[in-house]
Amino acid sequence: MTSELSKGERSLVQRVRKLLDKAENTDNAHEAEAFAGKAADLIARHRIDPTRLAGRGDVPDDLVLSEVHVGRGAYVRGRIALLANVAESHDVRMVYQSTPTGSVAFLAGSRQDLEIVKMLYASLHTQVATQMATRRRSTGAATQRERRAFLFGFAHRIGELLTESYDAATRDSQASADGGAATALAVRERRGRVDDFADSTWGKVRNASRAAPLDTGGYQRGSNAADRADVGRPRLRGRGAIGQGST
């Protein structure tokens, strides 16, 4: 299988990256929100475009695998949750494995969707790490609990926001004269192909153990922060991000 993107796919990824870069670099919150909103809308609408869905149905090498190293430490499960929620909202399936050098996430999906998932995850991880660095409590242990809960709350809300964008684009397509049932069927078929590909590649997957209990206040603060993230909302601003090994 090839892992190269087609010319059209590269163009979409580049357009999304430019929009997120503009949102990241502007000091105007309204401009940042507009750029980020265009990026989220562009991703969602292109993924449910009837022409693209119909044209990809029988391409065997459209589905590929990719890896993302998510590191280790006290916050690794939160990073895994963030990546999993971004992946799920883009019809990408994910499993992960712990190794002596850190956890590795394995992604299965279309080449274009994988590129966008990895790009969004990198952007969102930087944003939430920046905010986590500002969270302080009376002791080191309390600070760690706050930051961990903050990350999980952020990850959960991001998944909801991305799914909302996708669902809205799907409804708009189905309401159009040439969308409707054909689009809904193509979406189901694509998801079924991804599921079959992932199942045949990974086989039986063991469920991970439940994460430790979270601080309720920190979780809610993280969820609130996600509402200001670069996914159709104003971007987060703060201090420099913490390194991968500690977030």
Place of tokens 């603060």: 221
- Stretch (H or E) spanning 98: strand 93-99
What is the residue extent of each domain of the chain? 7-226
Confidence of residue 178 (pLDDT cuts 50, 70, 90): low
| pLDDT (tens digit per residue) in 126-162 | 878 888 988 999 999 999 999 999 999 999 998 888 8
Residue range 231-247: mean pLDDT, rounded: 39
Query: Residues 226, 157: contact at Cβ < 8 Å?
Result: yes
Output DSSP code: residue 238: -
Task: Name the nearest CA neighbour of 85 among 125, 58, 46.
Answer: 125
| pLDDT (tens digit per residue) in 16-45 | 778 777 766 776 656 766 676 677 677 776
Strands (E), 42-128: 63-71, 93-99, 102-110
| Lowest-pLDDT range of 12-16, 25-29, 198-202 | 25-29
